[in-house]
Amino acid sequence: MFITGINGPDGRVTWVAGAAPSGCGKTTTAMAGNRFVGDDLAQMWIDESGSVRSINPECGIFGIVEDVNQEGDPMLMDRLRNPGSEVIWSNVLIDETGTPHWTGNGEAQPIRGRNFQGPWKKGLNDANGKEIPISHPNARCTIASSALANYADEAEAPEGVETRVITYSGRDSDTMPPVWVAKNSDHGVVIGACIVSAATATEVGASGVKRAPWANAPFIPGALGDYMKAQFDFFGSAAIAEGKRPILAGLNYFLTHEARGGSGKKLLGEKKDVKAWLAWLERRAHGDVEAIATPIGFIPRYADLKALFQERIDKPYPEDLYNRQFSLYVDNILARIDLQTTAYAKEENIPPRLFEVLKEQREGLVALKEKFGPVVTPDQLAEADARVYRDRQSHRHDPGCLVRRYLL
């Protein structure tokens, strides 16, 4: 889990902790915050005041460097390329001048050097005739956190930081939107349980495998059911004070053009867009922005994101892009729910609440599809949201008469 602080309005700092499998952007997301605490581990507890606190037990980062570049990771690249920081490298290529290089660094690549398998030159093939890349997929850098420009003084605080946002993310190219917030803590834990991600080079012999259930299952030391129950119990604990309960959310900036009606496997957006997603979560945690209710949770409104893209990364955010990113591709999500339901049914002692939430979401999505078709736009979602609100108001004295077919 990463821990990072997001600067909000009027000098406010909101602390975010996020879980993701290895190679799914934890370091990039941590560095996108204004105040870096950690990029890999978080120890969390509920203090006597009812706040969720987080602390990083490490003093440095040990990050995968594949695709780390100036465009998406400018502060980290500054430390990796400029004098003044001691860096430990593994599985990169060292060229004839002693400079490390790695896949996706956005720089001119050398034609020879030495890497994880020995002497290397461009076009070198392995025994199976496959070209050997410039660096191993598990190439990493290790650097002291204190060397980073956005390192937070609070990282040294033994009381930790008050954590108001929890995110879950993986490498999801075709299903979920870039950011969405759970309706409550139980739905939030289900977001984490249903993250699907390709396995990474940190798992020997498993690269390319789609992980289900629970994308970081290879890193769980105990029974999956116990692990999930601990999260339901922790985030739903009555010990968390009113007004201090974190929002739980999904993050996904790996959507591709081809998954949303275009062509090509390039990202539908940029890595740096995560600054806008985090800024929206910061405001949502404090009730500063409204959202559109959907069966999977709450998604942002266009006007709020447009303003945050301009404020945080000085970038236009066209409404067409918003519609492609935040339309619900219902059949994809239903397939994901069915995948998780089937997979978890084979596991022992899975909390029943997981299946209840998935059933609720499935019914809501099916109702949306019946009304609007397999692709539901944000405008249509807002229409359904408003209709449910009107129904609730008109039947507020008789909850049994609510129009349940929208289940939003």
Pairing mode, strands 247-251 and 161-169: parallel
Pairing mode, strands 13-19 and 161-169: parallel
Question: Does the CA dihedral 135-139-143-145 come out positive or negative?
Answer: positive
> 121 - beta bridge partners?
112
> 267 - beta bridge partners?
256
> 300 - beta bridge partners?
291
**Exposure pattern of 276-303 as b/e (b: 16+ CB <10 Å)?**
bbbbbbbbbbeeebebbbbbbbbbbbbe
Q: Rounded distance, CA 68 to CA 74, Å?
A: 9
Cα–Cα distances (Å) from 368 to 21, 296, 376, in that order, read: 31, 12, 7
Contact 15, 159 (CB under 8 A): no
- Element holding 29 (H helix, E strand): helix 26-32
400 contact partners, CB below 8 Å, separation of at least 6:
none
Question: Does the CA dihedral 21-22-25-29 come out positive or negative?
Answer: positive
Q: What are phi and psi of 211, to 5 degrees?
A: -85, 120
Active site residues: 24
> 14 - beta bridge partners?
6
Encoded tokens for 63: 């990050």
